[in-house]
Structure 1
């Protein structure tokens, strides 16, 4: 195990130049998420790792392909990374990761059922300065061990982690290299990646907003305001009536759209007794918009009837633009 740790930390030190580069305000983050399964199943290999730049998939590795595979658009950027070297690093991390999972199962005599070991670590830059770093693990959803770079030391959060701590701190150099990785190597990699991908991470994709409704004609209507295709992730959606923000019944979560953008929606019910239905509007705030976007619910159709379902073409309130 000590040999594995030595190989892992040596590989970490090979990654990227440690010379600071001029970047931007940020924040920008580089993070890694690992999952090990004692009993792999279809679609879920025994080990998989995903790296992220901010919230965008950077590369993926698993125990079946055993290759660090960059995701779009990073796969199109020449000179971004030595992917063969990255693959070797992930192989070393896989070995130590799965060995630790075995140690934990042996400690608890957990031979039955399926068990999960997870790890996450990374760093953050703000105004080109280190503003955060983390390195921690969990077993079956419980906190297991965490690295405190201020001490520096691995801090056990589970009885079995005492054994892990002893192995990972067998020599002082292992601890010092872990600290150097979080404080020097990881930020250096992030700065280097930003030289290639800053424009992509800084992009502003405005939301496409639509309103749908369904319900009994002339009575209660369920109104849904949906925003699609926006980036970055942060967005605010509210239903407005009479100048007041309305309580929503569901929605508000922001979810990936599968194309490096996000989607969100809010749903509420309204009736004729609440006043004119066509006075309801959806207010959207997003960093890509010069000012908040307000979309009116079209309400009654031109023939005087109300559709039971379907999307009406959204339009803006007078004096407001996207």
Structure 2
């Protein structure tokens, strides 16, 4: 049986902190290029993210950069004609890189190959606090940029060829300038339009399920869902004392832009409880507490 708990009914739980995401924001892009795409599937696509929310999409089929989600209602943040031109130029460079890498591996006539690029920067309290840039070829990290050197660091043997080519072309300074200057400035501009979206908080809903399994044991599962932002803490107690957790679920982004996760504990099937699931999240002042006992079955 699943016990549903309408957590928003508790007035005490509505007194969540009014702060933003600890002043921590990020701008990142995820590029994917495919050497032999299937029919109607783009050979290249790019998605831009503010924190973990997608705000921009471009692909080789449409050839147009477009806003996503709440940003379809935001005016003035992005010049979409210029953004389309920028993403088209990046597409050309990215697909040429994929072709080069396939040549290094002599893979040009050997099936389908994929290149992913992930890069971005972070601000904390409006100050630059980090960046990343990495490429992944056929599912394995290929080369990454390290700002502290600065330079490109090969992660596969053949990536040395890419490192030499890019560094000969002067890409080290260009990459460093982008990550430490252009990207943070662009993020600061985007935040003028996006902080209200990024700082919103959705309180978790919580449910508990109970399933009797083999070996005279019962699995209690506590599910927290529809919460934002991502950080969450979940644990079980019995009569106020912590109970050893059996499994934790990953914190997963849902299609609606919120997260869900779960935690389980195993107890003897004859145990009547009570057990309590605790869910701690920035949207509430105190942890949500959801009890279970055998009488709920």
Q: TM-score range by the shorter chain?
A: 0.7 to 0.9
Count of residue pairs the alignment pairs up: 275
Larger radius of gyration: 1
Q: Unmatched 5+ residue regions in structure 1?
A: 1-22, 307-322
Matches of 2:218 and 2:131 in 1, distance apart? 48
Question: Which structure is richer in relative contact order (CA contacts within 8 A, separation 6 or more)?
Answer: 2
* Counterparts of residues 217-232 of structure 1 (less than 5 Å): 220-232=217-229
Give the superposition deviation at 1:154. Answer: 2.9
Q: CA deviation at 1:42?
A: 5.2
Per the TM alignment, residue 25 of structure 1 is displaced from its structure 2 partner at its CA by 5.2
Pairing partner for 2:295 from 290, 294, 300: 300
Deviation of 1:245 after TM superposition, in Å, equals: 2.2
User: Which of 153, 168, 180 matches 1:183?
Assistant: 180
Counterparts of 2:104 and 2:209 in 1: how far apart (Å)? 55
Give the deviation of 1:200 after TM superposition: 1.5
Secondary structure of 2:185's aligned partner: helix
TM-score normalised over the length of structure 1: 0.78
CA contact (8 A) 1:149 1:179 kept: yes
Question: What is the correspondence of 1:25-44 to structure 2 with a 5 Å cutoff?
Answer: 26-41=23-38, 44=41
2:230 is the counterpart of 1:233: yes
2:91 maps to what in 1? Answer: 94
Q: Which moved more, 1:59-68 or 1:117-126?
A: 59-68
In structure 2, C-alpha distance between the alignment counterparts of 1:91 and 1:80, rounded to whole Å: 19
Pick from 47, 52, 55 the counterpart of residue 58 of structure 1: 55
CA contact (8 A) 1:205 1:231 kept: yes
Q: Distance in 2 between matches of 1:152 and 1:269?
A: 50
Correspondence for 2:136:
138
Normalised to the residue count of structure 2, the TM-score between the two structures is 0.84
In structure 2, runs of 5+ residues without a counterpart are 1-19
In proportion to residue count, which structure has more strand? 2
Aligned match of 1:242 = 239
**CA, structure 1 residues 148+236, in 2 after alignment: closer, same or farther (shift >3 Å)?**
closer
